[in-house]
Structure 1
Amino acid sequence: MTPPQRILFSPEEICMDWQQRQRPGPGLRNLGSTCYINVILQCLTYTPPLANYLLSCEHSQLCFQQGFCMMCIMEAHVRKVLRSSASSIWPKAVIRDLKLIGEEFEPDTAGDAFEFLCCALKAMQRACLGGSSNLDISSQTTTIVHQIFGGLLKSRVTCLRCQAVSDSYKTFLHILLDIKEASSLTAALEDFVTPKQLDGKSCFKCSKCEKKVTISKRVTVHHVPKVFTVCLERAADHTGKKISTFVEYPEYLDLLPYMSDTAAEPLLYSLYAVVVHSGDTCLDGHFFCYTKASNGLWYKMDDESVDNCGIHAVLRQQAYLLFYARCSDLKMREMAASSLTPSYAHSFLSECEGSSKQAGSAGPQGLPDRKTLTCCQRKNAREKAQSRSLQRGNDRCSRFVNSTDYDNSTGRKRKKTSPPGRDHTPQDGTDSKPSKRSCQRAPAPSAAQEQSLQRQREQGRSLRQGYDLRRRFVEITDYHQSAKKRRKHSFGINGQKNQSQN
């Protein structure tokens, strides 16, 4: 892939976390057969980086298109939904220009949610290009749409006769997965990246052998998007038969095993929207969705109705479309805190809340923004956490020693004895014969004591694992921030040099 000649939108300006925290907006009215439109509009509305951009009105301030503009329509729709106090609204602009979004759509005819998503993203991409025809292909993939939803697939073809290898790359905004033999999303992704053998009848000609040969083709994710959109293909054939099997999907997804280069840090994604199709066939039925609002809670959105629900209900659905957002530093801190023991997590969150109050800024659930903590504050927090862990370990050791020095049955202190088989030597230095009294062992701990000791050991391991996790996360984020500062510094120096030369 050749580098783009022009960057239309800088990826550093994309914010993956909600800039405004509020309850979900109203539902969308159904005109009879527009449920497939409503679910896609809701999922795009609650896509954090897209919503942050549309709420800033940056596109409408710079847009000079006459007539239909999908980005302007989406901007007006998102602002109306997230700032409306009504119970339901009617997406008039989308229905009015439905034929301009996709020629195959009719307001009074049922459609497919995935097809509407593809057409909506293409219409938004055309609006971002603004009719520019002199841009190269690489520059066209630098719009805000591709910076959020766009990724890069790598296709490696290997000739099984001469072992010649050729690579090709293709951009994508979404991925279609085959679920005929897959019971989970991870299994479908593993099948997606598994090499496929194709014989010479498929018209594959090796450039080195100069003849049709049997090849091996493997497709992997070469560059990940900020929002990973997956369609689980439920159409069994062209007759409209539906694959109704349940496909398990996780709340947090790691895309690293499906990358071209797997020797890197985990690429964690968080589920934020699910589209469900209910019906016996793909030609009829009803669409509804589950979305995660900016307040961090899940809601079931079925046309006009918007109801609160839990993550367990979300993960039990017969999913058709899945939307995953790349986990930011803030989300990683939330996951690190939730992986600790309850008491230790409470103290960790309390400490974060205290730091955020001093800094004057707080994120969701009382967690501070990473940028507001200085290096000294992070170092003090790590030292305090380590000292608390050591102190708790000492307290447990002292409690264990005291419990062994006392008789649990009588409450009286036992007389300390020497280990069995060891001679007693007087303190005055004179020799003495070995004592005839046999040294007695301490009584074996009871079952309750064994359970208590086991719980203490498990808590100690949890504390150490939680501390190691937080320390690793702080090291990674510090490294990325320092690398970002170095890039900015070098860019500033190069800019000054270029100005001086001019």
Structure 2
Amino acid sequence: MDDMSKQSDFKLSGSSIRNYGSQPRYMLSVNRLPKHTDSPPPYYRSAISLGPKSGSTLWNSSTSSLGGNVNDRSSDLNGRFSKLDLNESTNSSKKLCNGYHTDYCSTKNLQSIDRREFSEINNTYSSRNSVRCLDSPVANPSRAPISLPVNSHHSYHRGGLVGLNNLGNTCFMNSILQCLSNTAPLTEYCLEDRFLKDINKSSSMNGMLFHSYADLMKEIWDPDLANSSTSPSRFKSQIQRFAPRFMGYSQQDSQEFLRYVLEGLHMEVNRVQKRPNPIKPNYEAEDCLPDNEKANLYWKRYLSMDNSEIVDLFVGQLMSTLECGECSFKSTTFDPFWDLSLPIPKKSNVSILDCLNLFTSKEELDGNERPICSRCKTRRRCTKSFSIQKFPQILVLHLKRFSGERFRSKMSVMVDYPLRNLDLIGFATSSCTQKSAQYKLYAVSNHSGSVYTGHYTASCLNPYTGDWHSFNDSHVHAISENSVVSAEGYVLFYTLIQ
């Protein structure tokens, strides 16, 4: 059993359950022993990233309600991280600046990786499983900060083609950073320095994380650096201060890394400078409200605590419905989500709509997982289902390819996902006010290999030229859109078609 399951009061075996924020994020598997391969960590992926400080329950505030041991496909990964004074090893960074370190590392040979062992990585990867990227020029990491012309889309057209050096098992980070780099509204927010006015001086990192991220984006989008590569070491130094689990150079999961990055960036530009004291919800009174009024109430309550450019782009709202099997009483709750983790049906010819149908299908809660019905005042068998109340501008879909704890496996089945016109309006609630929910794919974080030996890359659509490129650490090359959809697709980034 890993550290996460040891430190949580919730059962993590079988179907995961909803955690509404009682578990601080820094307690989640920070010291889990690595296996030194870029495949995801050995515990269950949660279905929904609910965002910082989500504190709702579905029926009532009893310890037996959904705040406790209730079967669910979701988990709220949030909390705060202690400040750590960590300095990046400049000597090691210089060594890595001129070379590529593959992530197809031999599990047998790599028993521990840290900054002191950079020089050994070259000799320890497995040549049988390794894939070496083509060498490309390396940008000078000590170069002065880049200043790009404000609102000059002409300069953007020639940028965005800078690779990222692998620092040692960091392809998971490079893959996500390239996907975020091609998220146009977020990148322009950085390139045009609009984030500066939003820096939250009361944040624990004092803006250092966002500054390092924005500086990296400016390097990636500098047209003078096209077809070269740069080092993300400064950003890594800051993200590991925010999230100590990313210290060192062990394998990590790209979707999990994305969650931490988005939360860290959000906290740095949170418009709420001082959080108000939380008000205990009156669940019985709220159950009497129409769904649209309740949804608006929950959304305003969320924005009173967490409101940023990151929230504007990535956060949607999900409705969870519980129906009592005895009295047919229905209770709804609304929660923010940053991404959706979709189960993959066990069949051939799977589509992303099949995964969404399975995610939103009714699930029966019975046995010890039964919640307390607010009307019956006792535990009852019930059904639970999800639907979408608010569609985000940027929709992140995570395919749950990895399963199991002791005997882990990867589902390498081909999941077909459309490049454009992904219509999700059929998954909306009846009270949803959005009339259209069509999405266009613009980035994919890919995972190739197995559970124990794997590698992350990214396929991204340049938002200004409309050209697709493959990002394999330091190597960048153009690809056709026909090669974007593959069985390696792991985290999908869609943008809402306005």
TM interval, short-chain normalised: 0.5 to 0.7
TM-score, with normalisation over the residues of structure 1? 0.59
> Residue type matched to 1:285 in 2?
G
Query: 1:18 offset after TM fit, Å?
Result: 10
Checking the alignment, whether the CA contact within 8 Å between 2:324 and 2:373 is kept in structure 1 is yes
Counterpart of 2:238 in structure 1: which amino acid?
D
- SS of residue matched to 1:188: helix
SS in 1 for 2:403: coil
Secondary structure of the equivalent of 1:93? helix
Following superposition of structure 1 onto structure 2, how do residues 320-339 of structure 1 map, counting pairs within 5 Å? 320-328=490-498
Question: For 2:357, which of 187, 190, 205 is the aligned residue?
Answer: 190
Alignment of structure 1 residues 225-304 onto 2, 5 Å = 225-238=392-405, 239-252=407-420, 253-261=422-430, 265-281=435-451, 283-293=452-462, 294-304=464-474
**Aligned partner of residue 304 in structure 2, secondary structure:** helix
Shift of 1:105: 1.2
CA gap 1:143/1:130 in 2 versus in 1, 3 angstroms: closer
Structure 1 residue 263, shift from structure 2 partner: 8.9
384, 388, 392: which one aligns with 1:217:
384
How many aligned positions are there? 311
* Structure 2 counterpart of 1:206, from 373, 391, 395: 373
Q: After the TM superposition, which residues 51-450 of structure 1 pair with which residues of structure 2 at under 5 Å, given as runs? A: 51-63=187-199, 65=201, 67=206, 69-86=208-225, 87-129=228-270, 132-135=273-276, 137-181=302-346, 183-238=350-405, 239-252=407-420, 253-261=422-430, 265-281=435-451, 283-293=452-462, 294-328=464-498
The Cα shift of 1:128 comes to 1.5
User: What letter is aligned with 2:428?
Assistant: M
Bigger-Rg structure (1/2): 1
TM score, norm. by length of structure 2: 0.59
Q: 1:231 to 1:251 in 2, by over 3 A?
A: same
RMSD of the alignment, in Å?
A: 2.2
Amino acid at match of 1:164: F
The whole-number CA distance in structure 2 between the counterparts of 1:264 and 1:60 is: 32
Please give the secondary structure, in 2, of the residue aligned with 1:211: coil
SS of the aligned residue for 2:416 comes to: coil
1:170-217: CA deviations, max 9, x gaps?
Answer: 111111111142611100101111111222531311111112111111
Structure 2 CA distance for aligned equivalents of residues 263 and 51 of structure 1: 28
Write the distance in 2 (CA, Å) between the matches of 1:212 and 1:256. Answer: 34
Q: Give the aligned residue type for 2:413.
A: T
Pair 271,212 (structure 1): closer, same or farther in 2 beyond 3 Å: same
CA deviations 1:63-106 (Å, max 9, x no partner) are 36475532222211111210142311111311222422321113
Match for residue 183 of structure 2 among 23, 39, 47:
47
C-alpha distance in 2 between matches for 1:315 and 1:18: 32
Deviations 1:35-70 (A, max 9, x none): 111011111111011112112201224536475532
AA matched with 1:22: H
Extract unaligned runs of 5+ from structure 1: 1-16, 329-502
Identity %: 25
Question: Does the Cα contact within 8 Å between 1:198 and 1:214 map onto a contact in 2?
Answer: yes
Deviation sequence 1:376-422 (CA, Å, 0-9, x none): xxxxxxxxxxxxxxxxxxxxxxxxxxxxxxxxxxxxxxxxxxxxxxx
CA contact (8 A) 1:26 1:81 kept: yes
2 CA distance for matches of 1:318 and 1:270?
A: 19
Greater RCO, CA 8 A, separation 6+: 2
Provide, for residues 220-244 of structure 1, a one-character-per-residue CA deviation record: whole Å limited to 9, x for no partner.
1110000000110111212432111
Q: Secondary structure, in 3 states, of the residue corresponding to 1:156?
A: strand
Q: Secondary structure at the match of 1:265?
A: coil
Distance 1:143 1:113 in 2: 23
Distance in 2 of aligned mates of 1:89 and 1:134: 38
The CA distance in 1 between the partners of 2:387 and 2:460, in whole Å, is 28
Question: 1:317: how far off?
Answer: 4.2
Q: Which amino acid aligns with 1:195?
A: K
Corresponding residue number in structure 1 for 2:55: none
Which AA in structure 1 matches 2:386?
A: V
Distance 1:19 1:157 in 2: 48
Q: What is the aligned partner in structure 2 of residue 338 from structure 1?
A: none
Residues 167, 205 of structure 1: alpha-carbon distance in 2 compared, 3 angstrom cutoff:
same
Tell me the secondary structure at the aligned position of residue 162 of structure 1. Answer: coil
Residues 19 and 168 of structure 1: is their aligned pair in 2 closer, same or farther, counting only changes over 3 Å? farther
In structure 2, the CA distance between the partners of 1:323 and 1:169, relative to structure 1 (3 Å rule), is same
Contact 2:325–2:383 under 8 Å retained in 1:
yes
More helix by share: 1
What is the one-letter code of the residue matched to 1:138?
Answer: L
AA at the equivalent of 1:286: H
Gaps of 5+ in 2: 1-150, 277-300
